[in-house]
Amino acid sequence: MRNKKGPIVFSLAVALAFALLAEDAAAVRIKDIADIEGVRDNQLIGYGLVIGLDGSGDSNAAKFTQNSMINMLENMGVTVQPGDIKAGNVAAVMVTAELPPFIKRGSRIDVLISSIGNAKSLQGGTLLLTPLRAPNGSVYAVAQGPLSIGGFAAEGGGDSVQKNHPTVGKIIGGAIVEKEVPYNLGLLHEVNVTLHSPDFSTVARMAEAINQRMDARCAKAVDGATVAVEVLDKYRESTVEMLAILENVNIIPESFAKVVLNERTGTIIMGEDVKISTVAISHGNLNIQINSRTEISQPLPFSSGVTVENTNADITVMEDEGDLHVVRSGVSIGDLVRALNAIGVTPRDLIAILQAIKEAGALQARLEIL
């Protein structure tokens, strides 16, 4: 006898496999949506001079550049007078960098150099030794080296050409770390995991997922963004191992129903959870076309008349017929897009329609305008 249950069991198995794959595809690692509190970059800043410019540096009007050059030369034992300094080949700059966590002394980090005077270009310049300080005033790195600006600027005869932004440059690996930021993970009894985007549902799921992965009730949601995780006894001497396990735990985060509009570019981004209530939409375009033409009337030869120039315009106004379309309650984002496409709206028209739907109280989502 033929077994009729075989195909049914096989179909159910395939459906279950696809469901599990879809769930895995939606799951993300904690490290992708959250940070370990206290483990972060630190910002550094410094003031320096870029030399070797081909006359494109600060002008003599930038007195601080002249004073900086005088101080630098005097520190090197060279005495100069203010009138002897010409700053055309020098530019005053601010140097910024990010100090990653756990970086060690002797490591190199990238630096960004930005002109603060009236220099026209930093092309071909070299940054002199510049201390980089943290907000506490301590020097954590020193920067020096030739700049890469990825562009140029030139002018002559009243014409000019420019590519990219020539008054900002970068030095890859241009700073050497001189001081470390202390991190002592071995003394921690509890770590806080903080979401990038606070959400009560996501933080509750994260706490539960951590408890299941660690097989202990060690995680507790503190607020809408933070999960406090107790360091288990078996990880007291290897906190890094526990943190490595935590950041690779998979969860399915919640998301807000949001519509993001950018009126300048006509860009529209809508999340999958966006819903609308029953609403009627009518769309019609008013097209105004203006054609200008110039007519010149010249006088007869040897007459005393003058040439007269007249400008006339033909104005045509056309208004397209707009149909009234009803969008039913609870439709998905796909249904909404198809309905609006059926009306024939452009992205900029769609922005106006979505704003009107929100004002009518029928858009069940956050509306954010950039």
Amino acid 75: pLDDT: 86
Q: Is the pTM of this model over 0.95?
A: no
CA angle 38, 45, 41 (to 5 degrees): 20
Amino acid 278: pLDDT: 74
Residue in the structure block whose two tokens are 């096989």: 10
CA distance 284 to 273: 28
Query: Residues 34-48: pLDDT tens digits?
Result: 998 888 889 999 999
Amino acid 171: pLDDT: 94
Amino acid 19: pLDDT: 45
Closest CA to 181 of 31, 46, 41: 41
Amino acid 308: pLDDT: 65
Low-confidence ranges of the chain (pLDDT < 70): 1-25, 82, 151-164, 281-296, 298-344
Side chain identity, residue 306:
V
Query: Residues 301-336: pLDDT tens digits?
Result: 666 666 666 655 554 545 555 555 565 665 666 666
Burial of 323 (0-12, 13-18, 19+ CB in 10 A): exposed
Burial of 61 (0-12, 13-18, 19+ CB in 10 A): exposed
